[in-house]
Structure formats: structure tokens, C-alpha cells
Structure 1
Amino acid sequence: MNISHQPPSAALVLQTLLTQGPLTRAELGRRTGLSSGAVTKVSAPLLDDGWITELGLSGERQPGRPATLVAVRPERARFIGVKVTADELIGMLVDLTAAPLATRRVPLRSRDVGTVVRTVARLVRTLASGAEGGAEGETRPAVHSIGVTVAGDVDGAGGIVRYSPFLDWRGVGLAALVEEATGIATAVENDVRALTVAEQWFGAGVGLSSFALVTVGAGVGCGMSVEGRVIAGAFGVSGELGHLPVGGTDRVCTCGNTGCVEAVASTQAIVEQVQEQTGNTDLSLAGAVRLARSGDAAARGVFTRAGRALGLAIASVANLIGPERVIISGEGVATYDLFTEEIRRAFAEQAFGAAARCELVLRPLPFEAWARGGAAIAAHRLFSPPSGRTTGAAGF
């Protein structure tokens, strides 16, 4: 049975069980808004085809009989997520609940599109080999689909990387290229948006009506979930927090503009500014951090300015969408202690009214979690092919 060919109510039931189950049918109806008859009707083919299963009895009783719990069968489908960085691929094989089954990292010897596609295909073959066979002749399902995530302007619906500054790509039809190279259906998405989907389903965004994920590293990104939907925007570029103008600098950003958050607060921008301040052009990020932590005033000033830019940007997100929580992640959070005070001060100054009640949560995540986000995007496409500019558990 192809889930995407089923009525939307079937996808809704499966998604709700995936993110909130196991549940009784009565509770499933309450959480989806479906009638008991509708739940029974859409559950039957899902049970018959092995997407869901009945577990033991719950403590809840329905009139006349005990209630049975229903849950997703994790082993029913497998997916591969691949996170593309400027110099490395991180891949993960997961089951239907996005539980990791295998992970692997491979270096990228070139950012040339053909090289990247071939390397992705080899990585997929390596990970997919873990999806075949099993104990005592058990046959495991083949990989259903692949989700590839890339930083930058990505048209997820069209499978096109419109612009990725770190790869220096423009107008690359990556989904079609990977699908041709692997023979497996492929989705492509912005990496931060994919990670936001994973956090919505399985991470710090579970159960929240609205939240934002801010990532700090080589770039500064933001994923936003509003009323259960991860927002991509009309043109697929929502959440480009790094290119929000905060002023206070004439540094040129990777986008060519000045005054962007990313021009002040990305890891490369921080290194360059500390180099400029100290005159040491050989200084690395680790060296800049050591200087700041040792009390060097110039280095600490760079981190303070970065923290202020991030705090102002996060306050803008809180003012715009009113999230319950902002999750701060990315490789840059390893140095969070150097700008946390200024982030919170600037946020408190700029957040309007009740928006200041938004919870700021630090959540370090390895790149494997980003690859898992790609797998979550692939799982999304199982339920519903891309047809719009929003994604989310409430309906893609």
C-alpha cells in the first residue's frame, strides 16, 4: 500500500501514532479530530499492510470492552538521510520512527556536483547494505527513500539547490541526480529546516504548538514550526536568520550585503574578526576561543558583539511568530559560554511584551542529528509528496 495514495486521514493517523503513540483508538480520534468510525476505517488498511500494529491492552476502558493500544511498526520502512557539508558527508540509516540503525561519515574530495553525487551514491549503498537480510533469514525492507540536506536556498518541492554559498552551487537539480545515481526516490531540503522537522517529531519541539530552531556555525540559520507546521515560505527561503540585518558592522556577508547577523556571528566571521583585532592572521577558531576565555579584551569583544547580534535576531523571531521555545544549536554552541550573557541581554531588551517569556534552550547536536533530519524529510514524503511550501506533522 502506498501511503501517499491514501486519503489524508490515513497519513494523519500514521503521523500522530508516529509522533505521539502508542495510543488507543479513542485517544487517536481525540488527537486527530477524526470520528471513531473514521479512525477504524483508515486504520484497517494500515494494519493489513503492516504499517501499524495492535499492542497489549491499555489501562483505559471503552464502553463494554478494554481499549487496545495501536502503534507504528518501526521495521515497516527504512530511510537514509545525508547531510552535505563543504568537506564531508554524514549519512544515517533509520527505521520508520527515525531510530538510528547505522551511521557513517565520508570525506568530500571535491565540491563538484558530479563528485558529490557519486559520493552520496556510494554512501547510500554502504548504508543500504544494512537494510538487507536479517537474523535467521529475516527479510528487512529495502530503503524506501533518501533525504539529502544542504545549507542554503533549497527548493524542496522541486528538488533543486538554488544557491548554496558553502558549496558554490547554483541551480543544481540534486534530487533528480541522486535518484538517478541510486535508483531510490530522493528528496532534497534545506539542512536547518530538515533538522527542525526532526526536532518537531522526536526532539525538543515535541508537543509544542510553535517553536524555532536557531543554528550557529559556518552559517546562522533558523527553522520555524508554527501551529505544527514547519514553514518554508512562498519561495522556500524562510528562516534565513543569518541574513537578517542587525547593523553595527560594515563587514560583508557571504550573501554580499553588510550588516547581516552571519557577517558578525558565524564561526568564520568570529575568527576573522579576532584575527583583525589581534593582528594574528594564523589564528584558528580554537585559538580565538582560548584567547577569549583567557580574558583577552579584544577577543572577548568579538564574542560579545556576536552574542548581541544573535540576541537581537532571536528576539525578532520571538516577536514575529511568538514561539513557546527557541532551541539554539549548531557547531558554534561549543563556544556558547562566551556570548550567552549578551544573547540573553539583547533578547530581553528587544523581545516585545509577552514574547520575552519565550524559553531559550541550548541543545548541542552532532551532525548525525542533521542527517537524521534528512531521513525525517524522506519519511515525510512517504506520507505526502511535496505539493506546497509548508511541511509538518499536522499536514505536509
Structure 2
Amino acid sequence: MTTTEPPTRTGSGDPRAGGSREHHLSALFETVLTRGPLSRRDVARSTGLSPALVTKLVRPMLHHGYLVEQDPEGGVPGRPQIPLAIDPDRHYAVGLKLMNSEIVGVVVDLQAQVQSSHRLKFDDHSLAGGLAAIEETTRVLLDRCPVPDGRLLGVGIGLGGHVNGPAGVLHRSPFFDWREVPLRQLVSERLGLPVVIENDVNTLAVAEQWFGAGSAFPSFLVVTVGTGIGCALVLDGRLWHGASGIAGEFGHVIVAPDGPECHCGKRGCLESVAGDEAIVRAVADAGGPRITRVSQVATLAHAGDPVARRAFTQAGAALGRAIATLLNLVNPPLLILSGEGLAASDLFIDALREEVERSAFSTAARDCTLLVRPQPDENWARGAAATMLRHGVLSSLRTLTDAAAG
């Protein structure tokens, strides 16, 4: 895999190929957010929108305070260009990352800058217990960072499992015994606020798209490793969900039909072969010491234990073969590898890279930059908040623009 020159970002889809007002608004807003301040001319160049359409879309955004004009640029030939920037105080959002026994939450402004954060431990995994923990975390965050009336867009929630974000339904979760839960509705009713829910790997992809390595690429993938293995796909500026939110269930691609049983009920899923539990089990199966945590395997491996080192190498190779398949299918210019499993990445990354190079078709591996990028939990929560910002802002802007057009 080699480093490639970042291409011109075209926002949510390529406007030059047509597209809806929503896509154009998304392209304009996200371009100014991630690359601003920018003049109208530079926005048009970056998004591919015509200067006339940029001017038309910007007008209501300025009028209603989503954008602000800064002092004209000096030393530029021709008519002075007036930079546009996001007004960070126009809106705020709460973002929550739900984990097995902890919630991490943040409040962000419209530029997705963190204003307050909070972590809450909880051990009641019932639905009622989870809703209570969500409410408590949200209340603490807003008490620490009071938001002016009318400025709070709502709450974004990221969690593992089959999450149908557009429908607001959590179909199943690997951490909680929750099935077919209308989570968006339940949380919204409890908090009295708009809510969006999303798979947590998707929220990390939004974080990367808005203020991370993905901001320079119209298409990229995020793969996370650890207790579970997940994937998010950003294609032509849009987070791809699939028909019901299952897109990206990379950990449940079957790579060894006769392999170990996965918690999903199938055999030989990538997660059951290369996840944390698989690494621990590989040590036990090889007659190694009786241990229960992957961190213990890492300690043994770093001390030179051959069984522990082999367990990580085998997991890395399996993950590399699966990633090669992703590269063959999508041919992305960037793949970001993240997740808590990166704490031991030095033990498996060489095997992963070697297998990617060996198994990818033609130039697929060479075309793609593999970026190993650990992320703190707060950045996942920040991505959940950014997901709420995107939903709320675009809904508001669409209404304003429709009203202006009418």
C-alpha cells in the first residue's frame, strides 16, 4: 500500500453529475466546515457546484446565521473574495458512544469542537437500565455546558450491532440483550429531544470524514478491530448503510466455514477467527497458559512467547486476507484501521500488510493508503454528535432553502 495524493473532495456525491438540493447543501456545508474559511469561488471549485448555485445556496445560510462572512482576502487579483465560515455557536449537539459497561458523551458546537465531556460506568444492561444511563449522561453533559434555547439540535448515539439508523431501530446488539428496539423513539421520548442512532463504526467514519484523515477523500473505508470487527464505507461522500443498516458487517463475513462458532450463531466469521476472543482461544488451543484477556496474550507475546506471538500473527493474516477482499470490491484510495485492538498492532500489522499485498487483485493494494489510527472513545462520541449535526442542520437548511425558493 502506498501513499497517494489526496484528490479534490466533492462532498456528498458529485454535484457535477446532478443531484438533489440536499446533496448540494451537504456538499457546500461540509466543504466550508472541513476546509473553511473559503470564498464562494473556492467553494464552487471544491464542490463542483456552479458559482450561481453556490450564491443561491449561501444566501439563506447567511441570513439564518449558519454561515458568517469574514474580512475580504487581500492580495488576490480581481474582485476581493469574501471568505465564508461556519458560525460555531449557531447549533450544538450531544454525542454518546455506548459500550459494554460505560457511556462516553460529549457536547460539541457546530464545528464539532468538544465543549464538555463525561464518562459514566453502568452495569444494568436491561433496556430500562440503558435508557436511564443515556438520560443521566445527557443531563450531566448539558448541566456542565448549558446550551441557549433553540440552539441544541439533539442527541446522536453510536453503538455496536445491527443499527437501522434511518428507521431508528436497533435490531440486535452484541453487548446488550436488546432485540428490535425502537431506540430512537424511546430515547427521544425520554429526553424530549430529537435523536439519531447509528452503528458506532459509522459514527467513527463520520468523525474521520468531517475532521480526520477522510476529509481529503470522497471515498474511504474504516475498519475497526478489537472485541468485534467492523467496517464503515464512505462512498462518493456518502455514508453507505445498505437496505437496512447492515452494510459494513465485515466481522461476520465467513472466512473459515468449519471454524469456531461466532456469537451471531454462524461458524467461521472473521470476528471469530481474528477478534480478541479468537486470539485468547488460540493460545488455549495451543496448550498455552490459561488466560482470559487479550491484553495478557499481548504481554506474553511482547515477552517473546512463541504461542502468543503466533496467535496475533494468525489473526493479522486472516484480517489481511479479508481486507484484501474489501479492496478488490471497493478499490478505495484510503483505508483507516482503528479500534481498541490497535493497542497490540505491533504484533499483527506486518502479517496483515503482507497478506493484503499477497491477496489483493492487481493494483488494489498499491492504490490504497492503509492508515493505522488509534482513536480515543471521545472521538467516537464526537462522530455521533457530528451525525446529529449533519441530520439537524441539513433538515433545517433544506426547509430554509425551500422557503426561499418558494
Length-normalised TM-score, structure 2: 0.88
What amino acid is the match of 1:127? L
Alignment of 1:319-330 (within 5 A): 319-330=328-339
2:81 corresponds, among 67, 71, 81, to 67
In structure 2, the residue matched to 1:362 is 372
Task: Report if aligned partners of 1:131, 1:142 keep a CA contact under 8 Å in 2.
Answer: no
User: Does 1:99 pair with 2:113?
Assistant: yes
In structure 1, the residue matched to 2:308 is 299
**Which whole-Å CA distance do the structure 2 matches of 1:7 and 1:25 have between them?**
17
In structure 2, the residue matched to 1:227 is 236
1:177 corresponds, among 174, 186, 192, to 186
Task: Report if aligned partners of 1:300, 1:338 keep a CA contact under 8 Å in 2.
Answer: yes
What amino acid is the match of 1:91? G
2:174 corresponds, among 140, 157, 165, to 165
In structure 2, the residue matched to 1:393 is none
2:349 corresponds, among 332, 340, 346, to 340
Q: Deviations over 1:267-326 (max 9, x none)?
A: 122123223333533443222111112222221121111001110111111111011111
Q: In the comparison of the two structures, how many residue pairs are matched?
A: 374
In structure 2, the residue matched to 1:120 is 134
**Which whole-Å CA distance do the structure 2 matches of 1:14 and 1:336 have between them?**
36
| 2:201 alignment partner, SS class | helix
Identical aligned pairs, as a percentage?
39
| 2:213 alignment partner, SS class | coil
CA RMSD after TM alignment: 1.9
In structure 1, the residue matched to 2:146 is 132
User: Does 1:257 pair with 2:266?
Assistant: yes
User: Does 1:210 pair with 2:219?
Assistant: yes
In structure 1, the residue matched to 2:385 is 375
In structure 2, the residue matched to 1:31 is 46
Task: Report if aligned partners of 1:246, 1:260 keep a CA contact under 8 Å in 2.
Answer: yes
User: Does 1:55 pair with 2:64?
Assistant: no
| 2:214 alignment partner, SS class | coil
| 1:74 alignment partner, SS class | coil
| 2:364 alignment partner, SS class | helix
Instruction: Say if 1:60 and 1:197 are closer, same or farther in 2 by CA, change over 3 A.
Output: farther
Shift of residue 142 of structure 1? 4.0
What amino acid is the match of 2:72? L
Length-normalised TM-score, structure 1: 0.90
Q: Deviations over 1:225-278 (max 9, x none)?
A: 122112111221111111112228621111111221100211122123223333
Q: Deviations over 1:25-44 (max 9, x none)?
A: 11112223333333222222
**Which whole-Å CA distance do the structure 1 matches of 2:327 and 2:56 have between them?**
41
Unaligned runs of 5+ in 1: 1-5, 134-138, 386-396
**Which whole-Å CA distance do the structure 1 matches of 2:138 and 2:199 have between them?**
19
Q: Deviations over 1:15-72 (max 9, x none)?
A: 2211221110111122233333332222222112111101122246464x31110110
What amino acid is the match of 2:390? H
Higher relative strand content:
1
**Which whole-Å CA distance do the structure 2 matches of 1:77 and 1:191 have between them?**
23
| 1:75 alignment partner, SS class | coil
In structure 2, the residue matched to 1:245 is 254
**Which whole-Å CA distance do the structure 1 matches of 2:118 and 2:312 have between them?**
33
| 1:26 alignment partner, SS class | helix
Task: Report if aligned partners of 2:30, 2:210 keep a CA contact under 8 Å in 1.
Answer: no
User: Does 1:189 pair with 2:203?
Assistant: no
Task: Report if aligned partners of 1:132, 1:142 keep a CA contact under 8 Å in 2.
Answer: no
Q: Deviations over 1:313-359 (max 9, x none)?
A: 11111111011111110000000011111101110111111101111
Task: Report if aligned partners of 2:25, 2:394 keep a CA contact under 8 Å in 1.
Answer: no
Task: Report if aligned partners of 2:291, 2:297 keep a CA contact under 8 Å in 1.
Answer: no
User: Does 1:16 pair with 2:26?
Assistant: no
Task: Report if aligned partners of 1:220, 1:266 keep a CA contact under 8 Å in 2.
Answer: yes
What amino acid is the match of 1:102? S
Task: Report if aligned partners of 1:277, 1:298 keep a CA contact under 8 Å in 2.
Answer: yes
What amino acid is the match of 1:47? L
**Which whole-Å CA distance do the structure 2 matches of 1:10 and 1:205 have between them?**
19
